[in-house]
Amino acid sequence: MVSAKELQSRIKDFFNFSWQEISGLIAAVLLTGFIFSFRDWGDTSFDFIVGLYHLFAVFVIAGLSFAFRISCQKIFALSQGYKAEFKVWWVGLVIMIVVGFLSVGFLPLILVGGVVTSFMVKQRLGEFRYGFSYIDNAVISFWGVIGNMIAAIIFAVGLFAFPQSYFFSKGLILNLMMGFCALLPLPQLDGLKIFFGSRVLYFLAIGTVLLASVLLLTRSKLGLIMAIVIGSIAGIVYVLKGSEK
């Protein structure tokens, strides 16, 4: 792990979203918003105004969630000397909409793609095993799952404060589903990079998503507190371990 000043400098110089990434993210956000609000156009009968509000709310949720997830991956990648860029999976978007229609919105998958990394020669100088590392790239992909779980906890806190909130409820479910779908070992998703980079990390990622789902979907105070405590302890251990380098 590089120093805080070096990481800050790398973020300033290299952290950005290309137009290709932005266009892919826009398509992902629009389709995810449509799929996740598919069954929310009215309670007992069709209501255009309510449906439009729900659709816009999920657009915002998806936009924030995707941006936060990918930002986590980009920042960690820079700390390791890699450039991470989001690459949309167009076939996955088609699969999402087909499954969404066939299941009448009951199975809202998120198969939008993942990040691809490129080697930054100068920023990797002095690193252990200077060359391209599959383990490093597995951890970069894993940070996408961590980002989703952090976002899920934030939405869970909001839902605890406002139990009837559609925004926080949908945000919680969307981030848990995003974390789960990202772990599917398919060529265009982050799960395959984690799987081939480290089997231990792959099963740890699955356990992380399952544990977060169990604790947060109970919508209980105890579950929320346990999720925050476990997440905080894991973060502290990671920072202390990284500071030893």
What pLDDT was estimated at residue 244?
Answer: 47
Question: Has residue 243 got a pLDDT over 50?
Answer: no
Per residue in 122-150, pLDDT (tens digit) is 766 656 556 677 888 899 999 999 999 99
- Give SS3 for 83: strand
SS (H, E, C) 105-148: CCCCCCCCEEEEEEECHHHHCCCCCCCCCHHHHHHHHHHHHHHH
Please tell me the pTM assigned to this model. 0.89
Task: Return d(Cα 221, Cα 235) in angstroms, integer.
Answer: 21
pLDDT class for 40, splitting at 50, 70, 90? confident
Taking only the tens place, the pLDDT of each residue in 57-111 is 999 999 999 999 999 999 988 888 889 999 999 999 999 999 999 998 888 999 9
Counted domains in the chain: 1
The model's pLDDT over 145-184, given as tens digits with 9 standing for 90+, comes to 999 999 999 999 999 989 999 999 999 999 999 999 999 9
The answer to whether 54 and 41 are in contact (CB under 8 A) is yes
The parent domain of residue 234 ranges over: 4-242
pLDDT at position 5: 85
Q: For the chain, where are the alpha helices, taking DSSP H only?
A: 4-14, 19-36, 48-80, 90-102, 121-124, 134-161, 166-182, 190-197, 199-217, 221-242
Burial code (b: 16+ CB inside 10 Å, e: under 16) for 131-152 equals eebeebbbbbbbbbbbbbbbbb
Tokens for 230? 């476990």
User: What average pLDDT does the segment 188-207 reach?
Assistant: 90
